[in-house]
Structure 1
């Protein structure tokens, strides 16, 4: 498509000579703008993908892929329901939980929280928590006098393994003087760090039998939490479980239904950021147009000479297309390399910033995350690269067309 003569002339035009440096500086700024736009877009999209994936893994890891709960009542026949659920294809884990809101206190510290009761066997399979015990052990999670608390709650209350913590449940017994809340002290048998500040600061885990007794739900549970082989294809499993249980008192809700507003907001934010940051590349493309127009004006006499020597309009157009495309291609490749390398070293860069400033830029108590996650989706990287190349090519069309339409006689008349 591009002949040797056209490549030679384009390469010569790209090398700035004395008196022609201004247009070349603008072209350099255009190249830097495209590189920065591509790198920024790749980095932001990777961080947003990582943020979304990290949130999903934490939410699903702690709350399961789907939940079965009684519509306005407790699940009394949960043992048979567990057997039926575990027979559904795609189910990897199902565990019953007794759940209730409690007031947690330890000395001067007090806060509202969520009490969750589950069996010791289920806790051992609950890897999102059992694999992250930082004090105590899962083996101590048994009996009627033991609880496990999160690391944030333990730090705020100044608790360690063996200390006592008091729980108060609003579900008490009716007396002539009104309903009396249930109050009891428990021993801290373990401290876990699930990696989600809200969970670590407000959830108390208790053996199922003790939780049923404390929450006054003997022989019943509040919900059944289910994990599947593929959370992205949870809808068929949800329908299969609903059909197998076939109980109008039970309701099955998957993660997409319970978190649709939250995850939908993240997706919308991701799309809007992509659109906004794409404008950086568009602005750089306009700089390519201005630099090429200035180059065409400076090279008007050269174009006229080339035309008189026999160069066709198509040849002139291809010369300037190559000049503009060079800026777009080099800028895109440079930006892609910078973006990918930056993403692969993102955590290291964060640690350097933290050491230099002495401030954690991603405080888990504020940002819900303990580190800045990233996830490079190569199809998105390819989309960014193609978009930058297409915009750069489109930016070269008009100046190249104007160069091809230059009249040799008019151009040489003013020389």
Structure 2
């Protein structure tokens, strides 16, 4: 066996001397792999390499998870907000919408418009006939045929029914509002508004009881705890409106085409109107989400940067530990380029394996994040604070690619200095003092 090893070393030396070893040859990978393993005694260098790999893996996984959750938040909130509200809000300027039926019909015929829904909106105070604390609500008067067009309501009725919504004085309320008032489908709810009948002494508040026809749950606390839908004609009477509506909500086939649709909608209105789109109404909210997402990306990127610094320190320790080996390889004819490539491979293996491990871990946790939250933190997610009932997550292939490529690139950059330092090692000095 000793003879075979001697022959291999002799052959390797001959190849070194002839300069016939190609870059990144097999023996360079073998040496790099052996340097990553723990020594029989001590094993300190391999421990450093392990923690460098672990740091990169955790950094990449954390970035993927956080970015996916932030994307999920934006998508879920956007779908909830647009699902129950229109994309464009048409409000009167100098003339009330008494002809709302004709106006909504004209708007609905514009190419790219899915529906145009007239609404009466007003604030009210809701209370239960059984006593207890009441709650402020947003009452929306809507035609029954239009309520069916809002998929977020019609498809999320949890109890009761929307059949015959226009008949009588029944209302549909959110599940969280029903829970806070202690009522259910079929019970009564009392609504109070300051916009009642006009009297010689001013406007008198109006209070009226309504039966609960349906209870819905959209999954967004802001809507489930404050929205009350009632028949349009009943809302006009309740808020003392003279057969007009507050606004007309326009639902588009493509929510992103609001800017292009404005001229067509203004032309269809045939009068001066105020157009407000969903971006304008929620600009501050979604702007804050975007800022938070970018800040989180920068902060969590520091984890990967720190992990790459560990690669630098680990390789410097490895160069010191293997200085005698490097000197022997140099005396056998190994070029500085060969030595440099050995340590480049070493650092690259740590970076690539760590990045791929973090990628797998991040995807695994992201895919199962709702189940993990329910098992490990069942009571930690308060929907009244975080708007949504559960943690959303949506992976973006482009963002994941950027994270992976950046992590590998930083890892490769981190190997340059230690590799260059190893290549410059003087074999005579290394053998003398190593």
Tell whether the structures are fold-level matches, with TM greater than 0.5.
yes
Partner of 2:358: 335
Q: Which residue pairs with 1:14 in the alignment?
A: 36
From 332, 347, 353, give the equivalent of 1:324.
347
Worse overlay, 285-294 or 306-315: 306-315
Aligned partner of residue 373 in structure 1, secondary structure: coil
Name the structure 2 match of 1:223: 247
Task: Please identify, of 3-12 and 59-68, the stretch whose mean Cα deviation from structure 2 is larger.
Answer: 3-12
Q: CA 1:395/1:28 → structure 2, altered by over 3 Å: closer, same or farther? A: same
Deviation digits for residues 265-286 of structure 1 (CA, Å, limit 9, x no counterpart): 0001001101100000100100
The answer on 1:172 being equivalent to 2:191 is no
CA distance in 2, matches of 1:41, 1:364: 24
2:125 corresponding residue in structure 1:
103
Q: Give the aligned partner of residue 70 of structure 2.
A: 48
Corresponding position of 2:156: 132
- Tell me which moved more, 118-127 or 10-19: 10-19
Uncovered stretches (5+) of structure 1, i.e. residues with no partner: none
Q: Distance in 1 between matches of 2:411 and 2:290?
A: 28
Distance 1:73 1:297, change over 3 A: farther
2:46 match: secondary structure? helix
Asked whether the 8 Å contact 1:23–1:295 carries over to 2, the reply is yes
What's 2:289 paired with?
Answer: 266
Q: Secondary structure at the match of 1:139?
A: coil
Q: Where in structure 2 are there 5+ consecutive unaligned residues?
A: 1-22
- Contact kept, 8 Å, 2:189 with 2:209, in 1: the verdict is yes
Aligned length, in residue pairs: 410
- Report the more deviating stretch, 262-271 or 102-111: 102-111
Per the alignment, residue 63 of structure 1 pairs with 85
Deviation, 1:161, is 2.4
| Residue 424 of structure 2 is aligned to residue 405 of structure 1 | yes
Between the aligned partners of 2:426 and 2:264, the Cα distance in structure 1 is 75
Runs of 4+ in 1 over 6 A off after TM superposition: none
Structure 1 Cα separation of the partners of residues 291 and 107 of structure 2: 34
Whether 1:389 aligns to 2:408 is: yes
1:143–1:210 CA contact under 8 A, matched in 2 = no
Find the aligned partners of 1:402 and 1:184 in 2 and give their Cα distance: 84
Query: Is the Cα–Cα contact under 8 Å of residues 140 and 190 in structure 1 kept in the other structure?
Result: no
Q: What secondary structure does 1:172 align onto?
A: coil
The aligned residue for residue 271 of structure 2 is: 247
3-state SS in 2 of match to 1:76 = coil
More divergent stretch after superposition (61-70 vs 271-280): 61-70
Q: Pick the structure with greater CA Rg.
A: 2
Mapped to 1, the partners of 2:353 and 2:196 lie a distance apart of 72
Please report how far the alpha carbon of residue 182 of structure 1 lies from its aligned counterpart in structure 2 after TM superposition: 2.1
Alpha carbons 1:301, 1:412 under 8 Å: kept: yes
Q: CA deviation at 1:20?
A: 5.3
Q: Match of 1:379?
A: 398
Structure 1 range deviating more: 131-140 or 399-408: 131-140
SS at match of 1:32: helix
Q: 1:237 corresponds to which residue?
A: 261
RMSD: 1.6
Contact residue 169 and residue 215 of structure 1 kept, 8 A: yes
Question: Structure 1, residues 285-340: CA drift from partner, whole Å, max 9, x if none?
Answer: 00000010011111112111211211111111101000011100110011100000
CA distance in 1, matches of 2:313, 2:386: 42
Counterpart CA distance in 1 for 2:39 and 2:93 is 79
Query: 2:8: which partner in 1?
Result: none
